[in-house]
């Protein structure tokens, strides 16, 4: 008998080693190396189509024919926006999110929408039986003969079924439950996830089938399995939101067919997920009037402007080392902006605890929110509320200057639509365009000028 060979693979990053190690050299995580049996014929080759053999020859780029990717639209405008304008045939889309967040509900609703448009859809469930899927479909009011349900985890049976049915769309829920019988490791391991995703990618590309796969996430919030999984697929979507809140955010992290900054917002109701047409109203509907430490900022999420409320609470510390906590924004940005306020404006913040939060559960990561954070901190520290009809936009530099931001016209138009009267924005953004009627544009060049305009001093 051939000697049994084994190797150790990191479950987090996919690093391979001939011996076990407590700490992975690739990602630095502890106790993430697992043993897997290595087979001599583990590398399998797939038969290529005649078209792929022809296209494999080196060709001058001027001789390559360009074809516009045909997109298929769903009834969900939010999903279409996040995907870059619709579903591309032959694409492989990975959707990750916390358990119970609504991934299966979203894909089942999308499957029903495509089936109602006379597209054949194959929904493969590895975690639920066909009866369980039917019960969920009845709760969502889904019924269509073009939607086929299949409960299977064996990849060879799944491939054979796709060959027989030949659907236009395939949903695999989830990739961690699918296994290939030729690989000895357990389902969900690095080797299984990698090989199963590679096989599904081959099926989708050769047969021009759009495939959606669901991926579990780790406790850190990233998709479980090796990072290679995200590199293999065409699009990576994250379904975010608190399980005990009704709003869900679908965010594109990677997209070969569109922007990676797009965001779609849904509301979880009894009848399933419903898209939110105007998210700015939702984020501002419970805003307190006349409360110190509250500022509204116009942030860009891809091509969509969104108005959100940034709240700050500044209080004297009880310890020698003051606390700096932030939810929804980068926590490293808080001490940086507090240092700017202390050095350039003269606020004594070194003995103050700072707690910041973006209301509504949305996460902001663009530099245009710097000025709103600084105004919120100053408002809470001085106990002076900002005007409820003010919107603050701008990037703050370390020398205290306010720098220009992109897409200022769209941000101001969104603020005007919701009834804001004054926009505090960078002075360099004022030229070359005209603001809407009824809106007062206040250009500022420094943080001191912004605080003077927003707080009166």
Q: In this predicted model, what pLDDT tens digit does every residue of 103-143 receive, in sequence order?
A: 999 999 999 999 999 999 999 999 899 999 999 999 999 98
The pLDDT of residue 53: 46
List pLDDT tens digits, range 348-362.
999 999 999 998 878
Distance of CA 216 to the CA centre of its chain: 14
List the one residue out of 51, 112, 55 whose CA is nearest residue 79: 112
Q: Which residues pair with 247 in a beta bridge?
A: 267
The pLDDT of residue 223: 63
pLDDT confidence tier of residue 318, bands split at 50, 70 and 90: confident
User: Mean pLDDT over all residues of the chain?
Assistant: 88
pLDDT confidence tier of residue 40, bands split at 50, 70 and 90: low
CB count within 10 Å of CB 303 equals 13
Average pLDDT over residues 370-385: 96
- Which helix (H) or strand (E) element contains residue 50? helix 50-55
DSSP labels for 183-217? Answer: --SPTTSHHHHHHHHHHHHHHHHHHT-EEEEEE-B
List pLDDT tens digits, range 177-186.
999 998 877 8
60 is in an annotated binding site: no
Q: Which residue shows structure tokens 């209080």?
A: 315
The pLDDT of residue 27: 83
53 is in an annotated binding site: no
How far is residue 97 from each of residues 150, 219, 249, 251, measured CA to CA in Å?
22, 11, 10, 10
CB count within 10 Å of CB 377 equals 26
Are 451 and 457 in contact by the 8 Å Cβ rule? The answer is yes
100 is in an annotated binding site: yes
Cα 269 to Cα 99: distance, rounded to the nearest angstrom: 17
Which range has the worst mean pLDDT, 96-105, 163-172, 222-231, 373-382?
222-231
pLDDT confidence tier of residue 91, bands split at 50, 70 and 90: very high
Are 275 and 264 in contact by the 8 Å Cβ rule? The answer is yes
Q: Max Cα separation, the chain?
A: 85
Are 450 and 424 in contact by the 8 Å Cβ rule? The answer is yes
The pLDDT of residue 320: 82
Whether 226 shows a pLDDT value over 70: the answer reads: no
Question: Going by C-beta distance under 8 Å and a sequence separation of 6 or more, which residues neighbour residue 363?
Answer: 240, 328, 329
222 is in an annotated binding site: no
The pLDDT of residue 376: 97
Whether 457 shows a pLDDT value over 70: the answer reads: no
Average pLDDT over residues 187-191: 81
Rounded to 5 degrees, φ, ψ at 390 are -100, 145
Whether 254 shows a pLDDT value over 60: the answer reads: yes
Cα 373 to Cα 377: distance, rounded to the nearest angstrom: 6
List the one residue out of 317, 295, 298 whose CA is nearest residue 306: 298
Which range has the worst mean pLDDT, 190-199, 384-393, 437-446?
190-199
Under the phi-then-psi rule, with left for phi > 0, alpha for psi from -120 to 50, and beta for the rest, what region is 290? left
The pLDDT of residue 229: 80
Whether 42 shows a pLDDT value over 50: the answer reads: no
Cα 295 to Cα 379: distance, rounded to the nearest angstrom: 9
The pLDDT of residue 46: 43
360 is in an annotated binding site: no
Average pLDDT over residues 130-158: 94
The pLDDT of residue 37: 75
120 is in an annotated binding site: no
Cα 14 to Cα 32: distance, rounded to the nearest angstrom: 10
What percent of the chain is modeled with pLDDT above 90? 59
pLDDT confidence tier of residue 290, bands split at 50, 70 and 90: confident
The total number of residues shown for the chain amounts to 457
97 is in an annotated binding site: yes
Are 345 and 317 in contact by the 8 Å Cβ rule? The answer is no
The pLDDT of residue 276: 87
Burial of 136 (0-12, 13-18, 19+ CB in 10 A): middle
Are 455 and 382 in contact by the 8 Å Cβ rule? The answer is yes
Average pLDDT over residues 168-173: 96
pLDDT confidence tier of residue 278, bands split at 50, 70 and 90: confident
Whether 230 shows a pLDDT value over 90: the answer reads: no
Cα 32 to Cα 12: distance, rounded to the nearest angstrom: 7
Q: What's the CA angle centered on 283, arms 280 and 285, to 5 degrees? A: 100
Which range has the worst mean pLDDT, 45-49, 129-133, 245-249, 271-275?
45-49
Whether 374 shows a pLDDT value over 80: the answer reads: yes
Are 168 and 204 in contact by the 8 Å Cβ rule? The answer is no
- Can you list the alpha helix ranges (DSSP code H) found in 6-154? 50-55, 77-82, 103-116, 130-139
What percent of the chain is modeled with pLDDT above 70? 91
List pLDDT tens digits, range 5-18.
788 888 777 788 88
Rounded to 5 degrees, φ, ψ at 297 are -125, 145
Q: What is the DSSP letter of 313?
A: E
Whether 51 shows a pLDDT value over 80: the answer reads: no
List pLDDT tens digits, range 426-441.
999 998 888 898 899 9
Burial of 133 (0-12, 13-18, 19+ CB in 10 A): buried
52 is in an annotated binding site: no
Are 78 and 276 in contact by the 8 Å Cβ rule? The answer is yes
């Amino acid at each position: 008998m051939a000697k049994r060979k084994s190797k150790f693979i990191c479950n987090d990053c996919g690093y391979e080693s001939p011996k076990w190690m407590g700490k992975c050299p690739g990602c630095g995580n502890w106790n993430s190396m697992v043993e897997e049996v290595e087979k001599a014929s583990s590398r399998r080759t797939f038969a290529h189509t005649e078209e792929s053999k022809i296209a494999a020859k080196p060709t001058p780029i001027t001789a390559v024919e360009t074809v516009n990717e045909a997109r298929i639209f769903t009834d969900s405008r939010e999903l279409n926006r996040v995907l870059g304008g619709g579903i591309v045939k032959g694409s492989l889309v990975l959707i990750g999110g916390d358990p119970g967040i609504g991934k299966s509900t979203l894909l089942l609703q999308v499957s029903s929408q495509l089936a109602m448009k006379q597209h054949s859809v194959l929904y493969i469930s590895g975690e639920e039986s066909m009866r369980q899927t039917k019960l969920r479909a009845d709760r969502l009011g889904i019924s269509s003969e073009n939607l086929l349900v299949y409960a299977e985890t064996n990849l060879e049976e799944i491939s054979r079924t796709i060959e027989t049915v030949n659907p236009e769309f395939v949903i695999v829920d989830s990739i961690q439950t699918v296994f290939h019988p030729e690989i000895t490791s357990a389902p969900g391991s690095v080797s299984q996830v990698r090989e199963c995703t590679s096989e599904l990618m081959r099926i989708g590309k050769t047969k021009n089938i759009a495939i959606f796969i669901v991926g579990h996430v780790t406790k850190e919030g990233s998709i479980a399995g090796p990072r290679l999984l995200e590199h293999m697929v065409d699009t990576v979507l994250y379904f975010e939101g608190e399980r005990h809140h009704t709003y869900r955010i679908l965010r594109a992290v990677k997209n070969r067919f569109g922007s990676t900054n797009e965001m779609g917002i849904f509301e979880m109701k009894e009848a399933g997920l419903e898209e939110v047409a105007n998210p700015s109203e939702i984020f501002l509907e419970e805003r307190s009037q006349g409360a110190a430490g509250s500022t509204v900022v116009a942030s860009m999420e891809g091509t969509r402007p969104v108005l959100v409320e940034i709240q700050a609470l500044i209080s004297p510390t009880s310890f020698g080392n003051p606390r700096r906590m932030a939810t929804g924004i980068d926590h490293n940005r808080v001490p940086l902006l507090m240092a700017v306020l202390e050095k350039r404006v003269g606020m004594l913040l070194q003995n103050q605890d700072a707690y910041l939060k973006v209301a509504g559960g949305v996460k902001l990561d663009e530099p245009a929110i710097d000025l709103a954070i600084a105004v919120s901190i100053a408002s809470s520290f001085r106990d002076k509320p900002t005007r409820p009809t003010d919107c603050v936009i701008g990037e703050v530099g370390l020398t205290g200057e306010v720098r220009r931001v992109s897409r200022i016209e769209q941000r101001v138009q969104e603020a005007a639509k919701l009834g804001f009267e004054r926009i505090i924005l960078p002075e360099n953004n004022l030229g070359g365009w005209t603001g809407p009627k009824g809106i007062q544009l206040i250009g500022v060049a420094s943080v001191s000028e912004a605080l003077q305009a927003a707080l009166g001093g």
